[in-house]
Chain A
Amino acid sequence: MNLNPEFQRQLSLEFSPARLVGVPLVLGVIFTLTYFLDHQNQTSVTAQSALGLFLLMVSFWGARQAVDSVLEEQRSHTWDTQRLSALDPWTMVCGKLLGSTLVVWYGGVICLMVYGLTAKNTSNLFWVYSYALSSGLLVQNISLLLSLIALRKGQINSNSVIIGLAILAAFTIGSWIMPLSENPQALQTIPDATWYGINTTTQFLTLISVCCALFWCVVGNYRLMAQELRIRTLPSVWLAFALFLIVYTGGFIEAKQFGEYFYTSAFGICLTLSYLIAFAEYNEPMRIKRLLTYITQENWQRAAEELPLWCVTFVLASLLALPLSFSPPADIDELHVYPIAILLLLLRDIGIFLFFSFGKNPQRAFSLTLLALILLYGVFPGIFSAVKLDGMVAVFFPLVSDSLVLSIIYMGVQSALVWYFLYQRWQESV
């Protein structure tokens, strides 16, 4: 039978006969214990334990398996063999994700079956199962996504960080699912939601949102795997994701305020995505050199392939900044929302990150940037504020300035300085 070879290999590695027997055996012992506890206290300890164990298994163990399926390849020097194979990205993603976590789902399904048999409140069973399965898949997909990003950035020892995030996700999911499993009236207390005027239940909208997130995670995994396999990719999917987020988020704006807040929301999404992808992408000086070489050769297809993704959302944000600049400022307390100044802030911050990324120790770029941003956004404005030099506060954080022109000048000068130093460093590197 022509099974997915990667899936088959993962099964050989992870689904050993010992685990096949060991997992139900250990779970059986735990549930025997909770059964006796149940009997004594007349509470549904077994059901709650089963659900809790499910969340821990699919999140913690599942995330570890998903992460190892990628990073362990690099550590064992087998990644090149996989990259040189005839396997397509989809086969690789499915094989790694499903193959490495099948043993986890084996234990997880046992937990869900025990939960179904022992739960006193079965009225929310559909929602509990739906959330549990979709969130479990989401956490594992995000873990795979983060591990592929870490692999690309050469941070192959990032397991603990990713697994830590997965545990955090498990607690978040738990805080949502556990009340549903305990209280039959839990769903009645949740107010209904409206999306683009469509009235629906919050639990349904949440489930759809989780499924959408899962879809985009799978797309992200496919794209990153394709890049690892040296398949050329254009930034179109990143643009589609940004547009999806803008449209999706726009659905939550009240109809009467839609015109007022839609552009602001879309602008905010583009800014956030630009920051996120700038930090997530592998930023190497040679990529910029290749980009410039392709531009010089007027090879636009290749240039688009080399284009840093933050540029796409930055351009989108710039387009959104135009209508926002002519609309009344959407001030937040004492902060003025100056779109152009905010764009320049983004440019400055990304410039700082790239400056450190092009340095001798790019592994420290993130922490050094974080330190620089704490100084620029917190410490310096705090010092000047304490000594009542409000004008100087605006130099570092121009959104407090009452003058639009001044805020643009302050940020323009800073961005120009940062990008000048960045250019110098880039020239030294290539």
Chain B
Amino acid sequence: MINVEQLIFEYPNLRALDEVSFHIPQGSITALVGPNGAGKTTLLRCMAALEQPVSGNIRIDGIDVLEHPRECHRIIGYLSDFFGLYDRLTVRQCLHYVARAQGIADEDCAAAIARVSKGLYITDRLDVLAGTLSRGLRQRVAIAQAIIHSPRVVLLDEPASGLDPEARHELAELFLDLQKQGMTLLVSSHILAELEAYSTDMLVLREGKIIEQVAIKTHAHAQDFKLSLATPVANLTAVLQSIDTLKVLKVEQDQSALLQVQGDSLQQHELLKTLLARNLPICEFAKITSNLQDAYLDTIRQRP
């Protein structure tokens, strides 16, 4: 869906993006993470064709962004870190303006406004001036503006900053809902816990370079488990490898192992029975919930 190749962007005396290349699959929610000044906002602005890089290629849904920036604008929604609302207009007027500006016919605007306001829980605020809204509500209106034309790709720069936990939870649900509708999302944020609720992939950017791209949520039927034994078993690796429904990732001192297990809860139950049937002194068999923060910190530690 999104292909970025060898992207270079420079400010005077500073290379903000240094030969950045990555691919984002359709229907994914990719977390763009990195420390302050890593180049996240610049990358998003280049992808939204708001900034012109020195060189490189960006393709979104087959459109060459640098060659045809206006065509790119038609298929993307962009939320900047400043929400960009017209404070003197009501929420309905703001949404109506953006809908019309995005080419939605006047007679279809009401339906589009109703759709996005329902999805963002702002139906009861439509006739309120945007300038009087709280930060959380302003942010929802800004997202509504970004998606009112049902873009195929949505780029969001720090969408959850300043939101309370409840608003963040609602935001996560919204992103998952957008994903179900077939949209591809790229979300930059500092709050890794918030990204974890919905991200399928993670892009780590540091000093203008992509240092890691990982899939956070792998196949739904493959999960990592930790197996611990009360006492060491000499041939533990061989025993485990003889079972078809698991893959041995790591064995430590014949007493613990990291396994990748295929299948749903019932199959996990069957696997546990099989392990017990092999007379293994199991004292722990637990799912490993590797979180985004761990993945990010691992990446940062591994690549100083």
Name the distance in Å between A308's Cβ and chain B's nearest Cβ.
Answer: 15
For A231, what are the chain B residues with a Cβ–Cβ distance below 8 Å? 69-70
* Smallest beta-carbon distance A227→chain B, Å: 11
From A84-92, A124-132, A238-246, the one touching the partner chain is A84-92
Say yes or no: B73 contacts A13, CB within 8 Å. no
In the complex, which of the residues B12, B86, B103 contacts A78, with contact meaning CB atoms closer than 8 Å?
A: B86
Residues in chain A near residue B11, CB distance under 8 A: 286
List, in ascending order, chain A residues with CB within 8 A of B198's CB.
none
Measured in the bound complex, the distance between the Cα atoms of B237 and A150 in whole Å is 70
Which residue of chain A lies nearest to B97 when distances are taken between CB atoms in the complex? A9
The reply to whether B54 and A86 contact each other, CB–CB distance below 8 Å, is no
Max chain B C-beta neighbours (<10 A), residue from A76, A284, A293:
A76
Nearest to B151 among chain A residues (CB) is: A84
User: How distant is the Cα of A284 from the Cα of B14 in the complex, in angstroms?
Assistant: 13
Minimal Cβ-Cβ distance residue in A for B11: A286
Given A284-B12, A430-B10, A289–B102 Cβ distance below 8 Å?
A: no
How far is B85's CA from A355's CA once the two chains are assembled, in angstroms?
Answer: 38
Tell me the residues in window 20-51 of chain B with beta carbons closer than 8 Å to chain A beta carbons: 48-50
Q: Assess the A80–B78 pair: CB atoms within 8 A.
A: yes
How many residues of A are in contact with the other chain, CB < 8 A? 34
Are A80 and B80 CB-contacts (below 8 A) given A86-B74, A284-B12, A429-B12?
yes
Is residue B220 within 8 Å, beta carbon to beta carbon, of the partner chain? no
Query: Which of B55, B88, B93, B98 is close to A85, meaning CB atoms less than 8 Å apart?
Result: B98
- Could you mark each residue 92-112 of chain B with 1 if its beta carbon is under 8 Å from any beta carbon of chain A, else 0? 010001101111011000000
What residues on B are CB-neighbors of A83 within 8 Å? 50, 73
With both beta carbons as reference points, the residue of chain B lying nearest to A289 in the complex is identified as B54
* Interface mask (B276-291 → A, CB under 8 Å = 1, otherwise 0): 0000000000000000
Q: What 1/0 flags go to A284-318 for Cβ under 8 Å of B?
A: 11100110010000000000000000000000000
A2 at the interface (CB under 8 A from B): yes
From B80, B89, B106, contact of A2 by CB (8 A): B106
How many Å from the CB of B61 to the closest CB on chain A?
Answer: 16
Measured CB to CB, the closest approach of chain B to A7, in angstroms, equals 10
| Nearest chain B residue, comparing its CB with the CB of A79 | B84
Whole-angstrom CA separation of A87 from B98 in the bound complex: 10
Q: Which of B10, B13, B84, B102 has the most CB of A within 10 A?
A: B84
Chain A residues whose CB sits within 8 angstroms of the CB of B70 once the complex forms: 229-231
Q: Which residues of B contact A77 (CB under 8 A)?
A: 80, 82-84
Contact A286 B103 (CB under 8 A): no
Give complex CA distance A286, B93 in Å.
39
Contact B100 A8 (CB under 8 A): yes
Chain B residues with CB below 8 A from A363, complex form: none
**Given known A13-B86, A430-B10, contact A85–B102 (CB-CB < 8 A):** yes
By a CB distance below 8 angstroms, the chain A residues around B84 are: 76-81
A8-B97, A76-B84, A87-B101 known; A290 and B73 CB under 8 Å? no
A 138-173 to B, binary, CB cutoff 8 A, 1 in contact else 0: 000000000000000000000000000000000000
Q: Quick check: is A82 within 8 A (CB to CB) of the other chain?
A: yes
Q: Is the CB of B87 within 8 A of A76?
A: yes
Minimal beta-carbon separation of B106 from chain A (angstroms): 5
Residues of A within 8 A of B86 (CB): 9, 13, 76, 78
Chain B, residues 227-238, CB within 8 Å of chain A (1/0): the string is 000000000000
Please tell me if the beta carbons of B80 and A9 are within 8 angstroms of each other in the complex: no
Give complex CA distance A290, B9 in Å: 11
Closest A residue to B103 by CB, please name it.
A86
Q: What 1/0 flags go to A329-344 for Cβ under 8 Å of B? A: 0000000000000000
Within 8 Å of chain A (Cβ to Cβ): is B185? no
**Bound CA–CA A13/B93 (angstroms):** 10
Q: B98 near A81 (CB under 8 angstroms)?
A: yes
For window 1-23 of A, CB contacts with B under 8 Å fall at 1-3, 5-6, 8-9, 12-13
CB 8 Å contact bits of B51-85 with A (1 = contact, 0 = none)? 01011000000000000011001101010101111
| Least Cβ–Cβ distance between B181 and chain A, in angstroms | 20
Residue of B nearest to A362 (CB): B12
A80 touches B54 (CB 8 A): no
Scan residues 162-211 of chain A and give those whose CB is less than 8 A from a CB of chain B: none
CA A35 to CA B161, docked complex, whole Å:
60
With a cutoff of 8 Å between Cβ atoms, the chain B residues found around residue A1 in the complex are 106
Q: Which residues of A contact B103 (CB under 8 A)?
A: 86
| Least Cβ–Cβ distance between B210 and chain A, in angstroms | 22
B188 contacts the other chain (CB 8 A): no
* Nearest chain A CB to B41 CB, angstrom units: 11
Q: Is B184 an interface residue (CB 8 A)?
A: no
B199 on the A face (CB < 8 A): no
B256 in the interface (beta carbon within 8 A): no
CA distance A285 to B11 in the complex (A): 9
Counting chain B CB atoms within 10 Å of each CB, the highest count among A86, A230, A285 belongs to A230
Chain B neighbourhood of A12, CB < 8 A: 89, 93
Q: Give the complex CA separation of A85 and B73 in angstroms.
A: 7
A87 to B87, CA, bound (A): 21
Determine whether the beta carbon of B97 is less than 8 Å from that of A80: no
Which residues of chain A from 404 to 430 have a CB within 8 Å of any chain B CB? 428-430
Q: Which residues of A contact B78 (CB under 8 A)?
A: 80, 84
Q: How far is the CA of A255 from the CA of B45 in the complex (A)?
A: 56
Chain B residues with CB under 8 Å of A229's CB are 70
> A284: which B residues are within 8 A, CB to CB?
12
Can you name the residue of chain A whose Cβ is closest to the Cβ of B45?
A80
Measured between alpha carbons, how far is A81 from B147 in the docked complex, in Å? 12
Distance in Å: Cβ of B109 to nearest Cβ of chain A: 10
Complex Cα spacing A3 to B96, Å: 12
What separation, in Å, do the CA atoms of A229 and B101 have in the docked complex? Answer: 13
The CA-CA distance from A286 to B46 in the complex, in Å, is 15
Complex partner residue of B100 from A5, A79, A286, A293, CB under 8 angstroms: A5
The contact sample of 27 A-B pairs, CB cut-off 8 A, is A2-B100, A2-B105, A2-B106, A5-B97, A5-B101, A8-B100, A76-B84, A77-B82, A77-B83, A78-B86, A80-B50, A81-B101, A82-B101, A84-B50, A85-B101, A86-B102, A86-B103, A230-B50, A230-B69, A230-B73, A286-B11, A286-B54, A289-B10, A290-B52, A290-B54, A358-B12, A428-B13
State the 4 A-B residue pairs at the shortest beta-carbon distance, nearest first.
Answer: A77-B82, A5-B100, A85-B101, A230-B69
In the complex, besides A84-B48, A285-B12, 4 extra interface pairs with C-beta distance below 8 angstroms are A2-B105, A84-B76, A85-B98, A429-B12
